[in-house]
Copies of this chain bind each other. A is one copy, B any other.
Amino acid sequence: MAAQAQYEELARQLSAIGAVKRHIGRTLPPACPSGTAAVLTLLGRHGDMRMGKLAELLAVDMSVTSRHVAHAADRGWIERSPDPADKRSRILRLTASGQDQLDELSRLTVELLAERLSDWSDDDVGRLTQLMARIRESFDCRPAPRLAPTTIATATAFAVAAPAVADETTRTPA
């Protein structure tokens, strides 16, 4: 359990870290803002998935995900095909053009980081990456599922008892 001053300083750094993200965003192609880039990255890394799963990985509301995905689909980077198992759902897939775009994003980002962090050790880069992943887990940064009124009480009680469910991989559509 850290001291109060330590938490205050952590909060300050969390509040300010967005400046680095904006820096990276400025090097991205104008047609591919950071939200879209995140969509392509996650699809490239985790493979085909449904909207809901992507929203969970992005840790934003599905309405936000829907907009980013529409932006990418408009540019031919993503294909949305109907899910045969659940007609409400759509399967997202990176197209060849989307893969090209992702490769380009990756190149630009790696180039920038390699330049800016040239005096960082591998270990420090890894440590920062790992600690950021860990704090996201500590906050359980996935959007709260939108529950129907009747199920809120039960789900809330469950969430208090076991906040880190982490059952995404085993969940079956409907």
Residue numbers of A with Cβ under 8 A of B are 1-4, 6-21, 23-24, 34, 37-38, 41, 45, 58-60, 106, 109-110, 113-114, 116-120, 122, 124-129, 131-136, 138-139, 141
Q: How many copies does the complex hold?
A: 2
Q: A1-B114, A13-B133, A14-B20 are in contact. Are A6 and B141 (CB under 8 A)?
A: no
The answer to whether B8 and A109 touch across the interface, beta carbons within 8 angstroms, is: yes
In the bound complex, residues from chain B placing their C-beta under 8 Å from that of A15 are 21, 24, 34, 37-38, 41
In the bound complex, residues from chain B placing their C-beta under 8 Å from that of A120 are 2, 134, 138
Report the Cα distance A24→B20, complex, angstroms: 19
Closest CB of chain B to A125's CB: distance in Å?
4
The answer to whether B116 and A139 touch across the interface, beta carbons within 8 angstroms, is: yes
Report the Cα distance A19→B38, complex, angstroms: 13
Report the Cα distance A20→B137, complex, angstroms: 9
The answer to whether A127 and B127 touch across the interface, beta carbons within 8 angstroms, is: yes
Smallest CB-CB separation from A9: which chain B residue?
B129
Q: A2-B125, A125-B6, A131-B131 are in contact. Are A113 and B11 (CB under 8 A)?
A: yes
In the bound complex, residues from chain B placing their C-beta under 8 Å from that of A7 are 109-110, 113-114, 117, 125
Closest CB of chain B to A49's CB: distance in Å?
16
The answer to whether A21 and B10 touch across the interface, beta carbons within 8 angstroms, is: no
In the bound complex, residues from chain B placing their C-beta under 8 Å from that of A133 are 13
The answer to whether A1 and B118 touch across the interface, beta carbons within 8 angstroms, is: yes
Closest CB of chain B to A118's CB: distance in Å?
7
Instruction: Give which listed residue, B12, B60, B132, contacts A13 with CB less than 8 A.
Output: B132
Q: A15-B37, A17-B135, A19-B136 are in contact. List 11 more A-B contacts (CB 8 A).
A: A1-B122, A3-B122, A8-B109, A8-B110, A10-B113, A10-B128, A16-B136, A17-B21, A17-B136, A19-B139, A119-B138
